[in-house]
């Protein structure tokens, strides 16, 4: 249930939805709304969604129950058999929910600048970099990211893949109340497809990349790309779009953006570029360039994909007038992010990285970095593969066979028998913890170990994942054993 701030006197549904087909008499002033009839309280507006609060049935089927529980109005996209309270028939009840949620909290996006970061990969890292850059520039930012959230007063666990429209509205309202000047919002394709941004005026949109990920949700690459493009529908007049010039799909968006647009990338075709000067297991140095200006950056996070994320954040920051030197300082201040090529250093003679990569594109990027750094073998512990389609499983096997010397999985990839794995160097170990222990035990100086598919714990914010803690314990144990042997 979403309730307004204390100063609100309500939102007129007739004014908010002037084109709606209305039944019932009387002027309805909404002060709160709800999408689950079981949680509804007297005085709420019930918004009937295509799927109800339990996620299994159509919310329109519960409209009569909502009315009997005290709903003062029903907002729906299909006619409902309710006659004792007003109903408002709208084209899309998901859009209506977003608009009503934002209106109930005073439309905070009209006061603070909302910056949306979307794309297949790199969203949460870009948000973390942006937060650090804006902080270095003296700006007060709220954040909503899968890595963690900040409402201007307190930190909390990261958001789910697709927070509800009321949840987004509440967080934006808290940021506004805390005096935040900007809100950094991670936006998934699911959130876009379900109109979770309705009612928000985006001041800026950054698109990290548009790959073939999330086809399990959108069924086809064409549908996924069309969904991603819808984020532009929420851009305010004069809003700025920043695009990845290295991504072919992003380049196609250039013709569709009506307002200001700025591109970034590692290639020469981008307006904001970077060149990697040095890359080691524990840091890399690259130079950011924008026109005649440049700034060197020393980052303890490695990989070309991290440089791309830095470019995405830097380009957004530049559109807000932040200079390159401040941008570089903000990037350098981010020395570690949970599950983002997170380096575990316990004095061992080989680098160990914990990474969230669980899709072909993400895994490919992580292993490419590992291969560049390895003087010996690349050893990869694969993440949980349950739920992947046969085509994704095949792609993952192909990536593993080409980019690792040894991969370790806690279960076979794919739905076929183990003979399908003969062409890929995969060790099957029953337990993920044992798989990590095996990788750490067999690694030698010059090798690189990547623990992929790591899922960070909800707390501490930006803290270590369970995999990182386990790897650290195993490495300390290994070092202690080596010291005892030497003694």
Each residue's pLDDT tens digit, 230-243: 999 999 999 999 99
Instruction: Give the pLDDT of residue 454.
Output: 85
Backbone angles phi, psi at 25, to 5 degrees: -95, 165
Token pair, residue 208, equals: 């990290």
Cα–Cα nearest to 405, from 362, 455, 350: 350
Task: Indicate the range of 152-161, 187-196, 257-266, 441-450 predicted with least confidence.
Answer: 152-161
Q: How many CA within 13 A on the CB side of residue 21?
A: 9
The angle at the Cα of 345, spanning 444 to 155, to the nearest 5 degrees, equals 145
User: In degrees rounded to 5, what are phi and psi of residue 348?
Assistant: -75, 165
Q: What share of the chain is helix, strand, coil (3-state, %, to 5)?
A: 35, 20, 45
Give the pLDDT score at 389: 65
Could you report the per-residue pLDDT of 454-485, keeping only the tens digit for each?
875 544 434 445 899 999 999 988 766 554 44
β-sheet bridge partners, residue 183: 114, 142
Topology (CATH) of 342-486: 3.90.190
| C-alpha separations of 63 from 12, 57, 71, 165, 437 in Å | 20, 12, 9, 20, 54
pLDDT above 80 for 421: no
Q: How confident is the model at residue 422 (pLDDT cuts 50, 70, 90)?
A: very low
CA 480 to chain centre: 38
Q: Which residues contact 18 (CB under 8 A, 6 or more apart)?
A: none
Residue 119 — left, alpha, or beta (φ > 0 → left; ψ -120 to 50 → alpha)? left
pLDDT of residue 166: 95
What per-residue string of b and e applies to 323-350 under the rule 16 or more CB within 10 Å gives b?
A: ebebbbbbbbebebbbbbbbbbeeebeb
Report pLDDT for 449. Answer: 97
- Residue 46, pLDDT above cutoff 90: yes
- 83-126 pLDDT, tens digit per residue, is 999 999 999 999 999 999 999 999 999 999 999 999 989 999 99
Name residue 264's beta-bridge partners: 244, 272
CATH number for the region 11-104 comes to 3.40.1390.10
* DSSP assignments along 465-476, one per residue: -HHHHHHHHHHH
Mean predicted confidence (pLDDT) in 291-301: 95
* Both tokens assigned to 115: 């910056």
| Domain residue ranges of the chain, discontinuous segments joined by + | 11-104, 108-332, 342-486
Alpha helices in 37-139 (DSSP H): 63-68, 93-104, 123-136
Q: Which CATH architecture has domain 108-332?
A: 3-Layer(aba) Sandwich (3.40)
Give the residue-averaged pLDDT of 288-302.
Answer: 95
Mean local confidence (pLDDT), 304-332: 97
Residue 221 has pLDDT above 60, yes or no: yes
Is residue 39 very low, low, confident or very high in pLDDT (cuts 50, 70, 90)?
very high
- In 3-state terms, what secondary structure has residue 107? coil
Average pLDDT, the chain: 88
CA distances from 316 to 82, 113, 260 (A): 48, 12, 12
| Token output for 421 | 């794995």
SS3 state at 432: helix
pLDDT per residue as tens digits for the range 382-404: 876 555 667 777 788 889 889 99
pLDDT at 96: 98
Instruction: Write down the pLDDT at residue 415.
Output: 47
Beta-carbon contacts of residue 59 (< 8 Å; ≥ 6 apart): 35, 37, 47, 48, 49, 50, 51, 52, 53, 93
Spatial contact of 23 and 86, defined as CB atoms under 8 Å apart:
yes
Weakest-pLDDT range from 52-61, 194-203, 226-235, 335-344: 52-61
* pLDDT category of residue 215 using cuts at 50, 70 and 90: low
**pLDDT at residue 217, rounded to an integer:** 65
pLDDT band for position 426 (cuts 50, 70, 90):
confident
% of the chain residues with pLDDT over 70: 87
Q: Which pair of tokens denotes residue 102? A: 């934002």
| Alpha-helix residue ranges (DSSP H) falling in 346-389 | 360-373
């Amino acid at each position: 249930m979403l309730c307004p701030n204390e100063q609100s006197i309500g939102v007129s549904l007739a004014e908010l939805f002037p084109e709606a087909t209305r039944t019932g008499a009387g002027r309805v002033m909404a002060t709160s709304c709800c999408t689950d009839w079981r949680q509804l309280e007297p005085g709420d507006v019930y918004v009937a969604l295509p799927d109800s609060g339990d996620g299994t049935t159509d919310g329109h089927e519960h409209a009569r129950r909502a009315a009997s529980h005290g709903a003062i109005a029903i907002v729906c996209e299909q006619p409902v058999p309710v006659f004792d309270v007003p109903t408002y028939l709208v084209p899309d009840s998901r859009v209506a929910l977003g608009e009503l949620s934002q209106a109930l909290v005073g439309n905070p996006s009209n006061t603070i600048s909302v910056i949306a970061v979307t794309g297949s990969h790199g969203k949460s890292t870009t948000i973390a970099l942006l937060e650090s850059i804006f902080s270095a520039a003296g700006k007060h930012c709220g954040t909503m990211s899968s890595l963690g959230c900040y409402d201007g007063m307190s930190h909390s666990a990261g958001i789910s893949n697709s927070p509800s429209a009321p949840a987004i509205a509440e967080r934006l309202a808290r940021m506004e109340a805390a005096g935040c000047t900007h809100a950094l919002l991670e936006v998934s394709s699911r959130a876009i497809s379900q109109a979770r941004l309705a009612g928000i005026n985006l001041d800026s949109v950054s698109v990290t990349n548009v790959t073939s990920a999330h086809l399990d949700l959108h069924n086809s690459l064409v549908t996924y790309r069309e969904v991603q493009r819808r984020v532009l529908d929420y851009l305010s007049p004069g809003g700025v779009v920043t695009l990845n010039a290295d991504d072919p799909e992003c380049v196609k968006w250039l013709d569709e953006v009506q307002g200001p647009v700025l591109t970034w990338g590692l290639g020469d075709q981008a307006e904001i570029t970077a060149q990697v000067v040095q890359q080691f297991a524990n840091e890399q140095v690259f130079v950011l360039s924008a026109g005649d200006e440049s700034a060197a950056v020393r980052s303890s996070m490695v990989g070309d994909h991290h440089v791309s994320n830095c470019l995405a954040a830097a380009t957004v920051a530049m559109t807000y007038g932040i200079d390159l030197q401040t941008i570089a300082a903000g990037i350098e201040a981010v020395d570690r992010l949970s599950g983002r090529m997170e380096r575990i250093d316990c004095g061992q003679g080989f680098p160990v990285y914990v990474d969230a990569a669980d899709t072909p594109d993400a895994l490919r990027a992580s292993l490419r970095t590992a291969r560049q750094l390895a003087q010996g073998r690349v050893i990869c512990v694969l993440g949980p593969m349950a739920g992947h389609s046969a085509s994704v499983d095949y792609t993952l096997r192909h990536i593993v066979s080409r980019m690792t010397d040894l991969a370790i999985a806690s279960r076979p990839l794919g739905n076929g028998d183990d003979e399908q794995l003969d062409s890929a160097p995969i060790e099957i170990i029953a337990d993920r913890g044992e798989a990590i222990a095996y990788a750490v035990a067999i690694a030698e100086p010059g090798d690189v170990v990547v623990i992929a598919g790591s899922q960070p714990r909800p707390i501490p914010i930006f803290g270590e994942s369970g995999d990182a803690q386990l790897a650290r314990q195993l490495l300390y144990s290994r070092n202690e054993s080596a010291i005892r042997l030497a003694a």
